[in-house]
Amino acid sequence: MEQRTTPLSHVRNFGIIAHIDAGKTTVSERILFYTGVSHKIGEVHEGDTVMDWMEQERERGITITSAATTAFWTPSREVDKSDPSEKFRFNIIDTPGHIDFTIEVRRSMRVLDGAVVVFDGVAGVEPQSETNWRYADEGEVPRLCFVNKLDRTGANFEYCYKTILDRLTKFAVRMQIPIGEEDKHEGVIDLLALKAYHFEGEKGIDIVETEIPENLKADAKKYHDELVERIVSEDEVAMGDYLEGKEVPIESLKVILRKAVIANKIVPVYCGSALKNKGVQLVLDAVVDYLPSPLEVPPAEGLDPETDETITRHADDSEPFAALAFKLQSDPYVGQLTFFRVYSGSVESGSYVYNATTGTRERVGRILRMHANDREEVKKVYAGEIAAMVGLKDTRTGHTLCSEDHPIILESIVIPESVVSMRIEPKTKADQEKMGMALKRLSDEDPTFRVSSDEETLETIISGMGELHLDIIVDRLKREFKVEANIGRPQVAYKETITKSAEAEGKYVKQSGGRGQYGHCVITVKPLEALVEGAKIAKNVKREQHFEFVNSIKGGVIPNEFIPAVEKGVREALSRGIQAGYQVVDVSVELTFGSSHDVDSSEMAFKMAGSLAFQDATKRAGPVLLEPIMQVEVVTPEQFMGDVTGSLSSKRAQIEGMDDRGQAKAVRAKVPLAEMFGYVTTLRSMTEGRASFTMEFLEYAIVPPNVAKDIIEARR
Cβ 399 vs Cβ 358: under 8 Å: yes
Domain of residue 686, CATH code: 3.30.70.240
Span of 33-42, 88-97, 119-128, 606-615 with lowest mean pLDDT: 33-42
Q: What share of the chain is helix, strand, coil (3-state, %, to 5)?
A: 30, 35, 35
Q: Do 204 and 84 share a domain, yes or no?
A: yes
Question: What was the pLDDT predicted at 60?
Answer: 46
- Work out the pLDDT band at 464, boundaries 50, 70, 90: confident
Q: What sign results for the dihedral spanned by CA atoms 433, 437, 442, 444?
A: positive
Asked whether residue 48 carries a pLDDT value surpassing 80, the answer given is: no
Which value, to the nearest 10 degrees, does the dihedral of the CA atoms of residues 191, 195, 199, 205 take? -90
User: For residues 105 and 111, what is the distance between their CA atoms, to the nearest angstrom?
Assistant: 10
Residue 604 neighbours by CB under 8 Å, 6+ apart: 517, 519, 565
What is the model's pLDDT at position 373?
Answer: 52
**Per-residue pLDDT, 221:** 93
The four Cα atoms 646, 647, 649, 650 give a dihedral, to 10 degrees, of 120
Which 3 state secondary structure label does DSSP give 533?
coil
Pair (92, 186) in one structural domain: yes
The mean pLDDT of the chain is 83
Same domain, 440 and 403: no
Spatial distance between the Cα atoms of 52 and 32, rounded to a whole number of angstroms: 13
Q: Which residue has the higher pLDDT, 175 or 664?
A: 175
Distances from the Cα of 679 to the Cα of 367, 482, 632, 674, angstroms:
43, 31, 11, 10
Of 400, 364, 369, 374, the residue nearest 5 (C-alpha): 369
Structural domain contains residue 449 = yes
94-115 burial, b at 16+ Cβ within 10 Å, e below that, comes to bbbbbbbbbbbbbbbbbbbbbb
Residue 2 placed within a domain: no
208-219 in b/e burial notation, b at 16+ Cβ within 10 A?
Answer: eeeebeeebeee
Do 457 and 512 lie in one domain? The reply is: no
Does 268 score more than 90 pLDDT?
A: yes
Instruction: Give the C-alpha separation, 152 to 159, whole Å.
Output: 14
Residue 222's pLDDT band (cuts 50, 70, 90) = very high
> Averaged over 301-329, what is the pLDDT?
86
Q: pLDDT over 70 for what percent of the chain?
A: 86
In a domain, 3, yes or no: no
Whether residues 154 and 268 fall in one domain: yes
More confident residue, 135 or 207: 207
Note whether 383 and 316 are within 8 A (CB): yes
Q: pLDDT tens, 515-555?
A: 789 999 999 999 988 776 566 778 888 888 789 999 999 98
Chain centre to alpha carbon of residue 156: 32
pLDDT at position 417 is: 56
Report the DSSP beta bridge partners of residue 322: 344, 402
Kindly state whether residues 315 and 437 are assigned to the same domain: no
What's the one-letter identity of residue 210? T
How far is residue 347's CA from residue 367's CA, in Å, rounded to a whole number?
A: 9
Residue 41 lies in a domain: yes
Is residue 208 a part of any domain in this protein? yes
Do both 20 and 131 map to the same domain? yes
Annotated binding-site positions: 18-25, 94-98, 148-151
Give the CATH number of the domain where residue 442 resides.
Answer: 3.30.70.870
Pairing of β 267-271 and β 143-148: parallel
pLDDT tier at 7 (50, 70, 90 boundaries)? confident
Same domain (yes/no): 201, 285: yes
Let me know whether 396 and 525 are in one domain.
no
Which of 596, 621, 646 marks a domain boundary?
A: 621
pLDDT at 500: 94
Pairing assessment for the beta strands 267-271 and 300-303 based on DSSP bridges: unpaired
Residue 147 has pLDDT above 80, yes or no: yes
Of 78-92, 198-212, 446-460, minimum mean pLDDT range = 78-92
Q: Report the DSSP beta bridge partners of residue 72.
A: 89
Tell me which residue of 525, 507, 527 sits closest to 517, measured CA to CA.
507
Whether the pLDDT of residue 65 is over 60: the answer is no
The residue ranking higher by pLDDT, 471 or 406, is: 406
Give φ, ψ of 478 to 5 degrees.
Answer: -70, -45
Burial label for 538, CB within 10 Å (0-12, 13-18, 19+), is exposed
38 neighbors 32 (Cβ within 8 angstroms): yes
Report the sign of the C-alpha dihedral through residues 608, 614, 620, 626, in that order. negative
Neighbours of 694 (CB within 10 A): 14
Rounded distance, CA 635 to CA 127, Å?
11
Report the pLDDT value the prediction gives residue 84, as an integer from 0 to 100: 56
Half-sphere exposure of 593 (CA within 13 A, CB side): 4
From residue 234, alpha-carbon distances to 99, 243, 263 in Å are 36, 14, 11
Residue predicted with more confidence, 661 or 351 = 351
Strand pairing class (541-543; 547-551): antiparallel
Strand, coil or helix: what is 311?
strand
Lowest mean pLDDT among 69-73, 531-535, 549-553, 705-709: 531-535
Cα(496)–Cα(17) distance, rounded to whole angstroms? 48
Percent of the chain with pLDDT over 90: 30
Same domain, 176 and 128: yes
Q: How confident is the model at residue 52 (pLDDT cuts 50, 70, 90)?
A: very low
Residue 453 sits in the same domain as residue 515: no
Q: Residue 610: inside a domain, yes or no?
A: yes
**CATH classification at residue 519:** 3.30.230.10
311 to each of 306, 323, 386, how far by Cα in Å?
A: 12, 14, 22
Instruction: Please tell me the distance from the alpha carbon of residue 5 to that of residue 641, in angstroms, as a whole number.
Output: 54
Q: Which of 283-297, 652-666, 673-687 is the least confident region?
A: 652-666
Domain presence at residue 415? no
Let me know whether 55 and 163 are in one domain: yes
| Average pLDDT of span 372-386 | 79
More confident residue, 226 or 96: 226
Q: 564, 586, 621 — which closes off a domain? A: 621
597 compared with 85, residue with greater pLDDT? 597
**Residue of 672, 634, 678 lying closest to 653 (CA atoms):** 672
Q: What is the CATH number of the domain that holds 363?
A: 2.40.30.10
Domains in the chain: how many in total? 5
Predicted confidence at residue 233, as pLDDT, reads: 92
Whether 438 is covered by a domain: the verdict is: yes
Q: Are 118 and 22 in contact (CB under 8 A)?
A: yes
Residues 584 and 299: their CA atoms lie apart, in Å, by 55
Residue 148 scores a pLDDT above 80: yes
Return binding residues for GTP: 18-25, 94-98, 148-151
Pairing mode of beta strands 366-371, 352-355: unpaired
Between residues 696 and 24, the one the model is more confident about: 24
Which of 461, 488, 515 lies at the terminal end of a domain, its last residue?
A: 488
Domain holding 436, by residue range, is 420-488
